[in-house]
Amino acid sequence: MNWTSVLGLLSGAVLYATPLLFATLGEVIGQRAGLVNLGLEGIMLVGASVSFAVAVRTGDAGVGLLVAAAVGALFNLLYGFLVITRRAPQLASGLAMMFFGMGLSALIGKVYVGQGTAGLPKFQLPALASLGTTMFNYDPLVYIVFPLAVVVWWALFRTRWGLSLRAVGESPATAYASGRSPMFLRYQAVVLGGLLGSIAGAHLSLGVARSWSEMMTAGRGWVAIALVIFSKWHPLRAVFGAILFGGAVTLQLQVQAWGIGVSPFLLDMIPYLLTLIVLLLWGGARRHAAPGSLGRVYRGTE
């Protein structure tokens, strides 16, 4: 493997890590509030289909991205209504939302299958251009997502809002007794999770594939949920996990391009197999353990 191949692998890892990291950050916020959202795959698909449809109709990918973010937040509010207001089981509600998102995205994107779009504009930072390579030429979302991980970490662990959100995730009853509103804080987490999850899907259709195809997320919503566990519910650790998965996807594509005689079905398994191996080897340190009320229905007052 030469230097160009290494740069190509790193460049591809960053690109494919971007949508995954957006989704993981949104899920970290939700789970820190005590909510497990198994509907993340559906949210990403809705974001991908809506953003592409709007981009094709308006000719502006930026508008498609903004509309998809708003739709994702609203879509996830339905999940919030089920589990927060109606106190439905989180796992069952999340699965229902996932299937709903799959069907809705297929309906929205049906007429756009096979069409293309210019997608999000790309540009190269001057520092990267000085390396004399055409790689690392990204759209704005790639440059935004990694600083965003730092912002999410700061918001969760260095602000009063983050302390309140984490308190709700540990014990809603205790948070309520201290003057906080568990329902209001959880709804905030639901909106942020839906917004980031939808942006993740939009990046797949507008920044990576620049097209729409049914089920294009290919399980990335589930991988994002796994990365939350891998990262120990910590935004900065999620960056490493997302890049690791992105690198596995890029390696799979490069192996196919090199013409190595390996079954394409086996190569398709590499990113997901790597995810399983990492989860098995990572262990279960007490620090950054799961929030105490994660997945539990809160039956108290507001």
Ramachandran sector of residue 22 (left: φ over 0; alpha: ψ -120 to 50; beta: rest): alpha
Which residues are within 8 A (CB) of 200 and not within 5 positions of it... i.e. 6 or more apart?
A: 19, 20, 21, 22, 23, 26, 44, 47, 220, 224
Structural domains of the chain ordered from first start? 3-113+136-282 (1.10.3470)
Whether the CB-CB separation of 92 and 81 falls below 8 Å is answered with: no
Q: Are 43 and 72 in contact (CB under 8 A)?
A: yes
Say if CB 26 and CB 228 are below 8 A apart. Answer: no
Backbone φ and ψ of 234, nearest 5°: -120, 125
Q: Which residue stretches of 3-60 are H helix?
A: 3-32, 40-58
The whole-number pLDDT of residue 261 equals 64
- What pLDDT is stored for residue 134 in this prediction? 55
The whole-number pLDDT of residue 286 equals: 47
pLDDT at 280: 73
Considering only CA atoms, which of 72, 7, 26, 84 is closest in space to residue 45? 72
In the 8-state DSSP scheme, what is residue 260? -
Question: b/e map of 275-284 (b: 16 or more CB within 10 Å)?
Answer: beebeeeeee
Q: pLDDT in tens for each of the 302 residues of the chain?
A: 566 667 778 888 899 999 999 999 999 999 999 999 999 999 999 999 999 999 999 999 999 999 999 999 999 999 999 999 999 999 999 999 999 999 999 999 999 998 888 889 988 877 665 655 556 789 999 999 999 999 999 999 999 999 999 999 999 999 999 899 999 999 999 999 999 999 999 999 999 999 999 999 988 999 899 889 888 899 999 998 899 888 888 877 777 666 666 666 676 777 777 777 776 766 555 455 788 889 888 776 66
Distance CA 216, CA 238 (A): 22
